Chain A
Amino acid sequence: ETGVTQTPRHLVMGMTNKKSLKCEQHLGHNAMYWYKQSAKKPLELMFVYNFKEQTENNSVPSRFSPECPNSSHLFLHLHTLQPEDSALYLCASSQGRGQANQPQHFGDGTRLSIL
């Protein structure tokens, strides 16, 4: 299944670098999500976008900056990250406005390592 595509698959960066993660969905969905998956912890919702508007920011530090230029694309801009930010970052999409409890479809994730 290639409905939700994330790039890059792996990223190693220093704490002072700036990088961006990209997510693209080809499912015609209107809601997109960023999740963080750390070892031994549940998936944590970071941001939700509905029709390009951010509707949820789950107390995420400002060093993570999301951008949603259209319903098919979602970015996560990274700046001055900390070692504890090393994790798998997953993008997901769903139909509806995100409040309608529609199934979410995930990408393969970006494995991020902070040196």
Chain B
Amino acid sequence: GENVEQHPSTLSVQEGDSAVIKCTYSDSASNYFPWYKQELGKRPQLIIDIRSNVGEKKDQRIAVTLNKTAKHFSLHITETQPEDSAVYFCAPSNTGKLIFGQGTTLQVKP
């Protein structure tokens, strides 16, 4: 089955700095790569996704880059704000069945 790992497991940055979270996966057939954000006590929410025919996608301060050869994709958050503090999950998929990573806790210090 698919093995998914996220690094780092925790990340603390100063407000305004950038944050990068990396997700590695094992299934070379994976073709859909979403990132979810879960604030404390709230539902996971999709923040950005990318498909295997695209190498990079950007949405304002958030971007995702994909390296299919190396089987990893990364979440980039620029100009971080305190409201970016949350747990972030990657969930690669090839059949519509999302396989979630263990999560990365991001803390943005004011």
A residues whose Cβ falls under 8 Å from a Cβ of B: 1, 4, 31, 40-45, 48, 56, 90, 94, 96-109
Contact = CB atoms under 8 A, between A and B. Distances in A.
Say which size band chain B's interface belongs to.
20 to 34
Interface stretch (B55-63, B68-76, B78-86, B95-103): B95-103
Nearest to B93: A101
Given A42-B100, A43-B91, A103-B49, 17 more contacts: A41-B102, A42-B101, A42-B102, A43-B98, A43-B100, A44-B100, A45-B97, A45-B98, A56-B97, A90-B43, A101-B51, A101-B95, A102-B96, A106-B45, A108-B42, A108-B43, A109-B43
B89 A42 contact: yes
Nearest to A111: B41
Contacts, number: 54
Nearest to B43: A106
Is chain B's binding surface mostly helix, strand, loop or mixed?
Answer: loop
B31 interface: yes
Contacts of A40: 102
13 contacts: A31-B96, A40-B102, A48-B96, A96-B96, A99-B96, A101-B51, A102-B96, A103-B46, A103-B49, A105-B46, A106-B43, A106-B44, A107-B43
B20 interface: no
A101 B43 contact: no
A97 B96 CA distance: 8
Which are the 7 A-B pairs with shortest beta-carbon distances?
Answer: A101-B32, A43-B100, A42-B100, A106-B43, A98-B96, A99-B96, A42-B102
B100 A90 contact: no
Contacts of B42: 108
B4 interface: yes
A56 B93 CA distance: 14
Contacts of B46: 103-105
Nearest to A105: B46
